Structure 1
Amino acid sequence: MNFPDEFQKQCIDLAQKLIGIKAARFHITDPHMHKKGFVGLNVKNEMEKKYYNKLEYIDPMHPSKFEDTNTTVISSNTIMPHTKWLNSVFYQDFIKPYGYVHVADMFFRNHGKIIAILTLLRDDSMDEFGSKDLDTMRNIQPFLEYSLNSIYLPARISEREFIADNYGLTNRELDVLEYALSGADNKTIAKQLNISLPTVRTHLQHIYPKIDVHSTNELISKVLRELNIQAG
């Protein structure tokens, strides 16, 4: 719903000061390990769309690969030799075209499930993420994870309950609404929820009369306004 953008921006700012980066992407994830609630530094929206559309599932650093581990920090140079990374399809098609070379991820969990990822990027003017950098990331990860769980999850649960109680939306309709509020288009919603595009449209057609709106733009505007009022 109303993702904690300011918290995400502060985390990126902290990483920039402590570690040194050229760009960053902070994502809130859904239960199916898809990324949403994106806040970025020097990362264009087209990069996110490209990732969602065809490159997410060849990402060697995808969080689903680390879901059942205790890993909190990884980097491109720790998951594979640097030469192999440079020759990978994911690097060639996704990282290199935007001028970046080195990548590091910090995972945040709730009850063992990854709920957010902070991705840090460096270009070829900077060194790869070394042991000191990774140690710094591991040292700040517990505090950021605690803060995220204290800020994000209670707010998300509260907002979903508020919408469900006021408008009688089903859980799946809430999922569709949540993606719509994060800025996703119908095609992206369908892909992320693993449903067909017509099914997304059907859910939206069911949501509109419940909330007394006639379009997605009206829907987003009204729900965000009421969430802001509820947050007081």
Structure 2
Amino acid sequence: MTKKTDVLDDFKQAMFDLVHRLLPVDGIRFFIYVPWAQLLQDSASNERLDAMLRQYTETWWSVDPMHPSRYEGQDTVVVTNSMLASDAEWRESEIYQGFYRPNGYFHNCDVFFRQQGRIVAVLSLVRCEPDQAFSADEVAELNKIQPFLEYSLEAIHVSSRIISRTGLSAQFHLTARELDVVEIAVTGLSNKAMCRHLNVSLPTLRSHVQSIYAKVGVRSSSELIAKLASIQMT
């Protein structure tokens, strides 16, 4: 494990501890968000939530009204399900019926972190009980701490992704779109899920993948992952 990763892990644990001191929650999730990709760079506060995240990555992100892609170009910092729908409407929603309810959670609150206007990470808080909605005061408190957390995140972690992409581009002459594909491919997502995240057809994805293989000098996704293992894809 690299020193950079150690620092990021410390940052995430400190952020989880801070949230627990500020307000009661039943679970906390933090993930790095790359446009077109829900990367498997999640940290969760318990095993049940960790398993839940894998379901989200493959399927439920596309129907989530709180997915960060829906807030690009906006100034929204904190959003909760109660801000988007009444409890009755939320109970009838596809995301609640298929995702939150089976996993035992009712309320969700997301805090967005941006760099140069683009959302790059999300802190997600969940509660089990329907009568424990995130209050206006709690949302205000999260809005207060968000700028400091965003600054800290950028200093510790976000810039490393830019360095990684720049390094890959220089070393293998990958295009920006090919870099997007690589960032998703190394997570192990299925081709079907990758197509949904990238909003491309399977033939187009295959064309990108074959170009990447040729440039990197590999013949399979496992070889690609192994060759890039020493490069921190963040």
**Residue from 82, 88, 109 that aligns with 1:77:** 82
Distance 1:125 1:191 in 2: 32
Greater Cα offset, 183-192 or 97-106: 183-192
The change in CA–CA distance for 1:86 and 1:51 in structure 2 (over 3 A counts) is farther
Residue aligning to 1:161: 166
Distance 2:166 2:197 in 1: 22
Task: Quote the offset at 1:96 in angstroms.
Answer: 0.8
Distance 1:162 1:17 in 2: 39
CA contact (8 A) 1:160 1:174 kept: yes
Distance 2:96 2:163 in 1: 39
Task: Quote the offset at 1:46 in angstroms.
Answer: 5.3
Residue aligning to 1:18: 22
Question: Does structure 1 residue 105 correspond to structure 2 residue 110?
Answer: yes
CA contact (8 A) 1:72 1:138 kept: yes
The change in CA–CA distance for 1:48 and 1:9 in structure 2 (over 3 A counts) is farther
Residue aligning to 2:134: 129
Residue aligning to 1:27: 31
Give the share of equivalent positions with the same residue, in percent.
Answer: 36
1:83-135 CA deviation, whole Å, 9 max, x = no partner? 22223232122111100011111111223322222111011287221233222
Unaligned runs of at least 5 residues, structure 2 = none
CA contact (8 A) 1:51 1:94 kept: no
Task: Quote the offset at 1:62 in angstroms.
Answer: 2.9
**Residue from 149, 153, 157 that aligns with 2:154:** 149
CA contact (8 A) 2:107 2:130 kept: no
Task: Quote the offset at 1:52 in angstroms.
Answer: 4.1
Task: Give 1:66's aligned amino acid.
Answer: Y
The change in CA–CA distance for 1:40 and 1:126 in structure 2 (over 3 A counts) is farther
Task: Quote the offset at 1:59 in angstroms.
Answer: 2.2
The change in CA–CA distance for 1:14 and 1:185 in structure 2 (over 3 A counts) is farther
Task: Quote the offset at 1:61 in angstroms.
Answer: 2.2
Residue aligning to 1:90: 95
**Residue from 43, 49, 65 that aligns with 2:55:** 49
Q: How many residues align structurally?
A: 224
TM-score (norm 1): 0.82
Task: Quote the offset at 1:154 in angstroms.
Answer: 1.6
Unaligned runs of at least 5 residues, structure 1 = none
TM-score (norm 2): 0.82
- In angstroms, what is the RMSD of aligned CA positions? 2.7
Residue aligning to 2:194: 189
Residue aligning to 1:206: 211
Task: Give 1:191's aligned amino acid.
Answer: R
Task: Quote the offset at 1:140 in angstroms.
Answer: 1.4
